[in-house]
Structure 1
Amino acid sequence: MKGIIFSVLQEYAGNRHGDEGREAFRRATGLITPLATSDYPDEKVAAAVGALAELSGKKPEEVLADFGRYFVAESPLVQKTYAAHFRNAKDAKDFLMKMDSVHVQTTKTLPGATPPRFDYEDRNSEVVVVYRSERRLCPLLKGLIEGIGLRYNGRPLSWREEACMLRGAKACRVAVRF
């Protein structure tokens, strides 16, 4: 997995839990300062999320969802790194529907990147996001969706799960209301 995720996850650990969170991240991943352009094993994300779940008393899925919200709506590193992508979207729906192209654009110069893939079904009042990834970070997706709403509307977008890879589906299908 690309280092930007680790850099923001370390930032999140400190934001939510201070020095104790940063130390839990370091112990779980073995990383003192992750490099945004480096590659790290996917298992290190699971280890960090597990450590933060234990620290907070939450389930790993809850930590992933909160991290997703933080990633889009709060992270100074993400705001700086992806400022142009945020500016180029006119609203929450526009940004959501550009997530696949954003992932493709931001990883095309990173050898070995395997970003998630997104397809969309626009139903006017809602968009169904179809998410495919070997990593199956479905709770992170749901947090990202809520974070997009927080960033553009000041409130989380509401969503309804239609299918999930964690429950045997080939892809996650999440209907998002605007």
Structure 2
Amino acid sequence: MKGIVFNLLEDVVCEHHGAETWELLLEDTGLDGIYSSLGDYPDSDIQALVAAASVRLGQPASDVLRWFGEATMPILKSSYPELFAPFRSSKAFVLSVNTIIHPEVMKLYSGARCPFFRFEEMPDGALRMTYESSRNLLDLAHGFVAGAADAWNEKVIIERFPADSAQGNDILIHWFSE
């Protein structure tokens, strides 16, 4: 995993829970916390940090990942406004992830292994998003979608699809106008 992900995690943990919490997570995991944004690090590092945050914050790891994704989006929008500017809605932004966003990520961070998403428009206007990656970070993607909606001041409901599947790779996204 690229170091930028760890840098973002550190930023949101420090912003929302304080620098001492980040230091405690590093202590809990035995990691040194030195991540170059362009460096490559084992996926096990992010898994360990999320597991430690789950314990420290008293939340399931899935909630920590969703929070991380959602809290990261304002930082990404501020740091990379050119990736957000072309889009008039979070739905358009989300639909561009494979064709525009991830190719730009791979230009910025050589060797990045981005997930792939399949999209299906549902009859009711919802969007079914299928996550394809060996990393099993659908909850992080869920958080990114929620954060994108916030970035455009939109309302969404995001649910697992099918609804009774806690382990599936699909989410269903409903956008609502105000």
Asked whether the two chains share a fold, i.e. TM above 0.5, the reply is: yes
Structure 2 CA distance for partners of 1:148 and 1:110, relative to 1, 3 Å = closer
Identity over aligned pairs, percent = 24
Aligned pairs for 1:130-169 within 5 A: 130-153=130-153, 155=155, 157-163=156-162, 167=167, 169=168
User: Which whole-Å CA distance do the structure 2 matches of 1:111 and 1:29 have between them?
Assistant: 27
User: Which whole-Å CA distance do the structure 2 matches of 1:120 and 1:71 have between them?
Assistant: 23
Q: How many residues align?
A: 171
User: Which whole-Å CA distance do the structure 1 matches of 2:87 and 2:159 have between them?
Assistant: 23
Query: For structure 2, which runs of at least 5 residues remain unmatched after alignment?
Result: none
CA root-mean-square deviation: 2.2
User: Which whole-Å CA distance do the structure 2 matches of 1:147 and 1:110 have between them?
Assistant: 22
Amino acid at match of 1:120: F
User: Which whole-Å CA distance do the structure 2 matches of 1:107 and 1:21 have between them?
Assistant: 31
Structure 2 CA distance for partners of 1:120 and 1:19, relative to 1, 3 Å = same
User: Which whole-Å CA distance do the structure 1 matches of 2:25 and 2:8 have between them?
Assistant: 11
TM value normalised by structure 2: 0.85
2:38–2:110 CA contact under 8 A, matched in 1: no
Compute the displacement of 1:106 (Å).
Answer: 1.0
1:24–1:48 CA contact under 8 A, matched in 2: no
Hey, what does 1:10 align to over in structure 2? 10
Hey, what does 2:117 align to over in structure 1? 118
Corresponding residue SS for 1:177: strand
The answer to which of 43-52 and 110-119 deviates more is: 110-119
Hey, what does 1:174 align to over in structure 2? 171
User: Which whole-Å CA distance do the structure 2 matches of 1:84 and 1:55 have between them?
Assistant: 36
User: Which whole-Å CA distance do the structure 2 matches of 1:176 and 1:154 have between them?
Assistant: 12
Query: For structure 1, which runs of at least 5 residues remain unmatched after alignment?
Result: none
Compute the displacement of 1:139 (Å).
Answer: 1.2
Hey, what does 1:31 align to over in structure 2? 32
User: Which whole-Å CA distance do the structure 2 matches of 1:117 and 1:92 have between them?
Assistant: 18
1:91–1:152 CA contact under 8 A, matched in 2: yes
Write out per-residue CA displacement over residues 6-55 of structure 1, whole angstroms, 9 at most, x where no aligned residue.
00001111122202222034333623442111111000001111111111
Runs of 4+ in 1 over 6 A off after TM superposition: none
2:13–2:22 CA contact under 8 A, matched in 1: yes
Amino acid at match of 1:49: V
Structure 2 CA distance for partners of 1:100 and 1:163, relative to 1, 3 Å = farther
1:128–1:176 CA contact under 8 A, matched in 2: yes
Q: State whether structure 2 residue 53 is matched by structure 1 residue 52.
A: yes
Amino acid at match of 1:2: K
Structure 2 CA distance for partners of 1:66 and 1:29, relative to 1, 3 Å = farther
TM value normalised by structure 1: 0.85
User: Which whole-Å CA distance do the structure 2 matches of 1:151 and 1:5 have between them?
Assistant: 19
Hey, what does 1:20 align to over in structure 2? 20
Compute the displacement of 1:111 (Å).
Answer: 4.2
Which of 89, 92, 104 is residue 90 of structure 2 equivalent to? 92
